[in-house]
Amino acid sequence: MRRYISAYFEDEENLLRAAKDLREKNISIQDVLTPFPVHGLDHALGYKRSNLPTVAFICGAIGLAVAFGFQTWAFVVDYPLFIGGKPHFAIPSFIPITFEVTVLFAAFGMASAFFIVSKLGPGANNVIHDERITDDHFVIIVDLDEQGNQDENVKSILLNEEAQNIQIKEIES
Amino acid sequence: MDNNYTFSRKTRTFLMALGGIGIVLMLLGYFIESPNGQRLWTNFLINNLYFLFIALFGVVFQALHKIAYSGWHTSLQRIPEAMSAFLPISAVLMFLLYFGMHDIYHWSHENLHDPILEGKAAYLNIPFFFIRMAIYFAGWIGLGYLLRKNSLHQDLSTDVKYYKKGKLLAALFMVFFAISSSTMSWDWLMSIDAHWFSTLYGWFVFIGLFVSGIACIILMISFLKSQGKLEFINKEHIHDMGKYLFAFSIFWMYLWFSQYLLIWYSHIPEETAYFAPRLNDHTILFFTILVMNFLIPFLGLMTRNSKRNLKWLSFMAVIVLVGQWLNIYLLVIPGTIGKAAQIGIVEIGFVCLFLGGFLYVVFASLAKAPLLSKNDPLLEESFHYET
């Protein structure tokens, strides 16, 4: 069992300030949930830029090699056919398919990497702290066990920034 | 903070020297390489088109962002405005083409006894060619001038009517440019190979224009920043210019390939006649253009940091600008000079002269107005811009 504190805000400005306050006092934030993207939140939470572009590039490069290699093998080595008087190794005709497969691999690679890194997707065990969190409320969630005995401290910081509602829950992890 | 650019004596002398070197090289080339009239007129056309495209993009850039309700570009719009100042000079030079018509355009000869060209005579004849040219330039220069004037008026008044008028002018220009950009590419470039045609050609030329214009704006920002100006243009704006260069390099390649693939597939002699001399007689140039205009900017500007680094971005912009010049070169020469064409002293001389003249006009225009426009309702957005 782990104990979580969740604070509900009605305004993204308060949320941003609360996030900054918590980070200044070295209290790590488990998660922030918002109904729409909040400008500057990544920065306030100190998130580093994601490595997703690198994943996309590598997957795309693999897709390119696979598509080009397979077509070359199929049309040149395995089953050469004369099509319209073109050479077997007809690069221009390979390019559209190579392009599409590159995009496909990059897209699938990115989506899978995203699911794996953020522990989403089928079979994932996701904790729902409150039904309203993605409707109209901004929520900050702090893992209390991680912080040591700082319950009152965390609470007072959050209340200071006009949190509408603060709940402490115990959740099976 | 001083927001005025002064066209310093040093820059002035440098540009005049560049033009002077151009003239010396042209004379030198004239005696060493003894080029014929055709080679001179071809060079004239290539360079005039190249710098006309960049100047024209100055107006396109303003119009495009105005009708798209864009806010981020407002702090840098004086640069494209200044670029468009070269348009009138380009127009005068283009009309000189009257004396070189026969050296470049095969269809301009009389009594050709060519059924294909006779069929096209209603469009491709000398009077109509120059009437069209006059219409294009009247539209581009007129609307470009009105946009510039409107922007200068806006500096003096907080009235929102200038903003609205700018939008109207931008919309008018876009409609005019949509048609004229296509027809100008048929007139000046596609009709060199008058038997051949491609429906994609206008688009292809337009995207070349777009890419070289973006590269030119990037270099202008880079130059002005090195002079300690433009402190209101931050990394975010540069990032956006980088994205433009990256995206439109890809789009340029996309259109190039769309045209090539269909012709390669169908393999009809009338159509392949266009690519055969380019691929067989100028093989190295043919592939160099693809590497410079697509492969290098594609790989070089892929990451976020590379787009935000102005030095690196400027380096890429230089490569693309050279690549686009070579692209226009290869669009023109196989239909005029043909196999014998090579880049020699004359070519370099022409480029130096045109480049010096173009930059002189642009910087002189840039010095006439503050580098930061005022009173645009979207200007505040531009300062706080974040991608």
Least confident stretch, A91-95, A118-122, B76-80, B288-292 = A118-122
Kindly indicate the confidence band of residue A130, based on its pLDDT and cuts at 50, 70 and 90: confident
Helix H or strand E encompassing B53: helix B37-67
Tokens standing for residue B227: 């002079």
Query: What's the whole-number mean pLDDT along residues B176-198?
Result: 93
Residue A45 makes CB contacts below 8 A (sequence gap 6+) with A19, A23, A29, A32
Q: Confirm whether B203 is domain-assigned.
A: yes
Query: What's the whole-number mean pLDDT along residues B263-292?
Result: 93
Q: How many domains does chain A have?
A: 2
CA distances from B247 to A89, B236, B259 (A): 29, 16, 19
Residues in chain A with CB shorter than 8 Å from the CB of B257 are 92, 95
CB-CB contact of B140 with B94 (8 Å): no
Residue B32 makes CB contacts below 8 A (sequence gap 6+) with B345
- CB within 8 Å: A93 and B265: yes
CA distances from A114 to A104, A120, B74 (A): 15, 8, 36
Q: Which domain holds residue A28?
A: 2-47+125-171
Q: How many domains does chain B have?
A: 1
CB-CB contact of A17 with A45 (8 Å): no
In terms of domains, do A61 and A107 share one?
yes
In terms of domains, do A132 and A167 share one?
yes
Quote the CA–CA distance of A22 and B67 in Å, as a whole number.
Answer: 44
Phi, psi of A171, deg, nearest 5: -130, 135
Q: At what angle do helices B201-226 and B161-188 cross, to 10 degrees?
A: 130
> Closest by alpha carbon to B307, among B354, B253, B242, B252?
B242
Q: Which domain holds residue B206?
A: 34-109+124-343
Residue A34 makes CB contacts below 8 A (sequence gap 6+) with A12, A15, A41, A134, A138, A139
Q: Confirm whether B20 is domain-assigned.
A: no
In terms of domains, do A108 and A134 share one?
no
Give me the pLDDT at residue B3, please. Answer: 80
Q: Please, what's the largest Cα pairwise distance for chain B?
A: 68
In terms of domains, do A109 and A67 share one?
yes
Q: Is A164's pLDDT higher than 90?
A: no
Query: What's the whole-number mean pLDDT along residues B286-291?
Result: 96
The answer to whether A84 contacts chain B (CB < 8 Å) is yes
Residues in chain B with CB shorter than 8 Å from the CB of A96 are 261
Beta strands in chain A (DSSP E): 2-9, 31-33, 138-143, 165-171
Out of B261, B304, B386, closest to residue A92 by CB: B261
Residues in chain B with CB shorter than 8 Å from the CB of A49 are 304
Kindly indicate the confidence band of residue A173, based on its pLDDT and cuts at 50, 70 and 90: low
Give me the pLDDT at residue A33, please. Answer: 86
